Amino acid sequence: MKKLLISTAFLFAGFVATAQQDAQFTQNMFNKLSVNPGSAGHNGGICATFLTRSQWMGFDGRPQTHLFSADARFSKHGVGLTIFQDKLGIESSLIAKLAYSYHLTLGAGELGIGLEVGLINKSFGDEFIAIDDFTQDPSIPNASTSAMTFDAGLGIYYHIKDKMYVGISTLHLPQSELEDVADGGGQGALNYASSRHYYIMAGYDWDMSGGARKWVLKPSILAKTDASSTQLDLNALVEYNKLVWGGVTYRVQDAVAILAGVHIPQLPGLKLGISYDVTTSALGDHSSGSLEFMIKYCTNIVSPPKREVYHSVRFL
């Protein structure tokens, strides 16, 4: 697994170019469902995740991203829901999708094969600020516009509990186009073509305390590409006693991030996380970084049976 992580990192490092494709999250290791439907239900119970991200702070109209996802496991079947909202300047995106996965026992772990279907809505507002007279350029909108289209994706996800995971997925399979003219006869139009995206993720848990899992190193990678540009995240977290974690992420040619989080002992299954990105590209001269918060809660669908012992009065 260590060789796989290193080899994949070097493979994608040769193709990296910075671009804003699907919205990114630094805490991607806690957010597998949104990019791989094969992971739906892999935790074996019910999980819900909320992420909110403010990117490139210091810019007006900077990306503001919110995501809610939830998944559950029923026998060999996993189901999931993802709702995603992103706003960048006058452009707003809303994605809602349902995922289904079927899980097979394979060796020491499980293989999830998943499909997702959903809707993409894109809209442009009317608050565009132009330096020149916008009436001279009919492509600049002076009225709002929006359009909606169908979306779908596929993914496979293999994991060995508390040991490793690896997944491959492709999203936006139809490569649908969204088109609409400005409301009320205004000028400008929405013309957006979604590109097919491919994701590779992998992670490994290395118990540094000889089986006690007091100190666990968790390296992972997430690579995504639309076949014209590629983005690669290299992550390393250290978790102490299943209570707190901290680590770093390097997003090639874009940012270095610090991550931290805590499990809440009073509410088993609840974890809180935070990350802060320091921009390393030219945008760093004008941005004060990116800030992201996470809340995640997981629980079993069926509580483990309570062990009961019967004592006969005949045998004390």
∠ CA 68-112-159, rounded to 5°: 90
Q: Exposure string (b/e) for 35-51, b if CB count within 10 Å is 16 or more? A: bbbbbbbbbeebbbbeb
Residue of 218, 220, 228, 229 whose CA lies nearest to 254: 229
- Do 55 and 62 touch, CB atoms closer than 8 A? yes
Number of domains the chain is built from: 1
Say which DSSP state 16 is in: -
Query: For 173, how many CA atoms within 13 A lie in the half-sphere containing its CB?
Result: 12
For residue 40, give the amino acid letter: A
pLDDT at 4 (0 to 100) = 40
Say which DSSP state 9 is in: H
pLDDT at 9 (0 to 100) = 39
Inside any domain, residue 206: yes
Inside any domain, residue 310: no
pLDDT at 307 (0 to 100) = 55
∠ CA 227-231-232, rounded to 5°: 125
- Do 81 and 47 touch, CB atoms closer than 8 A? no
Instruction: Give the β-pairing of 64-74 and 77-88.
Output: antiparallel
Question: Which residues in the chain come in under a pLDDT of 70?
Answer: 1-21, 61, 128-142, 182-188, 282, 284-286, 302-316
Residue of 168, 135, 143, 132 whose CA lies nearest to 153: 168
- State the DSSP string of 96-163: EEEEEEEEEEETTEEEEEEEEEEEEEEEE-S----SS-GGG-TTS-SS-EEEEEEEEEEEEEEEETTT
How distant, in Å, are the alpha carbons of 11, 64, 215, 232 from that of 200? 12, 25, 26, 9
Q: What's the CA gap between 54 and 46, in Å, rounded? A: 27
Inside any domain, residue 204: yes
Q: Which residues contact 17 (CB under 8 A, 6 or more apart)?
A: 229, 230, 253
Q: What's the CA gap between 131 and 297, in Å, rounded? A: 47
pTM of the model as a whole: 0.83
Q: Which residues form the domain of 216?
A: 2-127+143-299
Inside any domain, residue 135: no
Give the residue ranges of DSSP H helices in the chain: 2-13
Inside any domain, residue 294: yes
pLDDT at 194 (0 to 100) = 86
Inside any domain, residue 136: no
Inside any domain, residue 304: no
Inside any domain, residue 252: yes
pLDDT at 63 (0 to 100) = 83
pLDDT at 89 (0 to 100) = 80
- In sign, the C-alpha dihedral spanning 123, 128, 132, 136 is positive
- In sign, the C-alpha dihedral spanning 39, 88, 21, 174 is positive
Instruction: Output the domain CATH number for residue 159.
Output: 2.40.160.40
